[in-house]
Amino acid sequence: MKIVYFAHSIFSRGGDKMILAHLRHLAASGHEVTIRSTVVDTIYPIDSRITISRLPATTKAGTLLAALLGRQEGECIIATIVPTALLLALRNRGRVLFFAQDDNETVSPRLLWRALIRLLYFLAFRLLRIPTITVSSELANTFGRRYGFSGAVVPNGVDTTRFFRDPSPDIMAMKQGRKALLVLSRTDQRKGFDVALNVASTVSEEDGVSLELWIVGEECSQDVNGMTVRHFGYVDEERLRLILSSADVFLYPSRSEGFPLMVIEAFACGCPVVTTTAVALARDAVNAYVTNVDDVEALTRGVLHILQNNVHAEEYTRNGLEFVREHSLEKSSSLFGATLLCLMGEKHRRCMQ
């Protein structure tokens, strides 16, 4: 099958990593895979069997215009945001697959944006009936309640050949006896980086807590209550494994998620996780410490709980590893490939019966 992935950009986000892994599996399975994108700037490797075709656009609006006006050469055209999927479907009816990794409505708190995105989802699911794969049953249920959606679920997976417990002596030595709180820096307000900084600042004020802050992702120049802050930037998977394995807590105060890769990568590396109810795969007091969204006080308690209770931290770690064993990257990509063929391939009619 000739498969095209159409997107404005491929960066170093978790969603980019996941789609590249699925495309790699499809290429390895003998499919002809092409990426059509305006911007490709990622630390993640792109399989040599995948063709990269640059779009002539320079802006997001230009990419959307290309999706609307262009007829794509391929039996399956994959899109990961609903505006692109909808515009592609107008000229490529019956050949578009929407891979929903999150609820696009949560990108902005503005009411006009939310109303527009809900309209686009309604058109995609109810009018055009675009075949869709979601990354979690929770996301599928959300779409079902709002739009009567019925689609496939393919949970994300973690590559356990790359993510496992592997603390780095050099990174551990940096701490000089302090505890390390790891956070992800993203300007996307959904990731809650502003909350993470507030929590880190509050924890650092506690008596008897010697803490430093580790940041991966986008650069942050903000002072955090005079704490020692280490900026690792965007890192490849090997470096991320060492950082996750060496940190004492991973704080992920997300406001909206589909199926966050970095959380299960932390599980795989044995790093205890403090997160929010937006992360449906996290189970409070089972594999993570879970609080309500934007609850700085509760998140602070969670970080302190992990730092001061080794028994509970070890229990979360054990259960996190059990979750990882059930959610391997190989299993996820194999299921994605089989589901794609079911929805878009020759077996489509039989699968829909």
Number of domains in the chain: 2
> Which CATH number fits the domain that encloses residue 217?
3.40.50.2000
Q: What's this model's pTM, rounded to 2 decimal places?
A: 0.94
Read off φ and ψ for residue 243, nearest 5 degrees: -65, -50
Task: Please classify residue 69 by burial: count the beta carbons closer than 10 Å to its beta carbon, then call 0-12 exposed, 13-18 middle and 19+ buried.
Answer: exposed
Cα separation, 150 vs 141, whole angstroms:
9
Question: Taking a C-beta distance cutoff of 8 angstroms, is the pair 303, 251 a contact?
Answer: yes
Q: Is residue 74 part of a domain?
A: yes
Q: Is residue 162 part of a domain?
A: no
Question: Taking a C-beta distance cutoff of 8 angstroms, is the pair 341, 334 a contact?
Answer: no
H helix runs in the chain, sequence order: 14-28, 60-69, 82-91, 111-122, 137-147, 169-174, 193-204, 237-246, 261-268, 296-308, 310-325, 329-344, 348-352
Read off φ and ψ for residue 11, nearest 5 degrees: -110, -145
Q: Quote the DSSP letter at residue 71.
A: P
Q: Is residue 334 part of a domain?
A: yes
Torsion over CA of 343, 106, 330 and 284, rounded to 10 degrees? -130
Q: Is residue 288 part of a domain?
A: yes
Residue carrying structure tokens 């966050």: 260
Q: Spell out the residues 6+ positions from residue 111 whose beta carbon is closer than 8 angstroms to its own.
A: none
Q: Is residue 265 part of a domain?
A: yes
CB count, 10 Å around CB of 352? 9
Look up residue 83 and give its two tokens. 């505006």
Q: Same domain, yes or no, for 265 and 315?
A: yes
Cα separation, 204 vs 212, whole angstroms:
8
> Strand 179-185 relative to strand 211-217: parallel, antiparallel, unpaired?
parallel
Domain limits for position 36? 2-157+329-352
Cα separation, 103 vs 287, whole angstroms:
24
Q: Same domain, yes or no, for 126 and 141?
A: yes
Q: Same domain, yes or no, for 136 and 45?
A: yes
pLDDT by residue, tens only, the chain of 353 residues? 999 999 999 999 999 999 999 999 999 999 999 999 999 999 999 999 999 999 999 999 999 999 999 999 999 999 999 999 999 999 999 999 999 999 999 988 899 999 999 999 999 999 999 999 999 999 999 999 999 998 899 999 999 999 999 999 999 999 999 999 999 999 899 999 999 999 999 998 887 889 999 999 998 877 788 889 999 999 999 999 999 999 999 999 999 999 999 999 999 999 999 999 999 999 999 999 999 999 999 999 999 999 999 999 999 999 999 999 999 999 999 999 999 999 997 544 445 44
Question: Which of 309, 315, 263, 271 is closest to 166 using CA atoms?
Answer: 271
Q: Same domain, yes or no, for 77 and 49?
A: yes
pLDDT at 150: 86
Q: Same domain, yes or no, for 312 and 339?
A: no
* CA 56 centroid distance within chain: 27
Q: Same domain, yes or no, for 278 and 140?
A: no
Q: Is residue 163 part of a domain?
A: no
Give just the sign of the alpha carbon dihedral 249, 252, 253, 259. Answer: negative
Q: Same domain, yes or no, for 186 and 126?
A: no
Question: Taking a C-beta distance cutoff of 8 angstroms, is the pair 23, 1 a contact?
Answer: no
Question: Which of 129, 158, 165 is closest to 317 using CA atoms?
Answer: 165
Question: Taking a C-beta distance cutoff of 8 angstroms, is the pair 344, 76 a contact?
Answer: yes
Cα separation, 311 vs 126, whole angstroms:
49
What is the Cβ-side half-sphere exposure of residue 8, based on CA atoms within 13 angstroms?
Answer: 13
Question: Taking a C-beta distance cutoff of 8 angstroms, is the pair 166, 269 a contact?
Answer: yes
Q: Is residue 187 part of a domain?
A: yes
Look up residue 218 and give its two tokens. 């986008």
Question: Taking a C-beta distance cutoff of 8 angstroms, is the pair 274, 247 a contact?
Answer: no
Cα separation, 320 vs 244, whole angstroms:
13
DSSP string, 220-264: -----TT-EEEEEES--HHHHHHHHHH-SEEEE--SS-SS-HHHH
Q: Is residue 164 part of a domain?
A: no
Q: Same domain, yes or no, for 173 and 128?
A: no
pLDDT at 108: 86
Q: Same domain, yes or no, for 150 and 234?
A: no
Q: Same domain, yes or no, for 334 and 251?
A: no
Q: Same domain, yes or no, for 58 and 114?
A: yes
Cα separation, 242 vs 230, whole angstroms:
14
Q: Same domain, yes or no, for 41 and 62?
A: yes
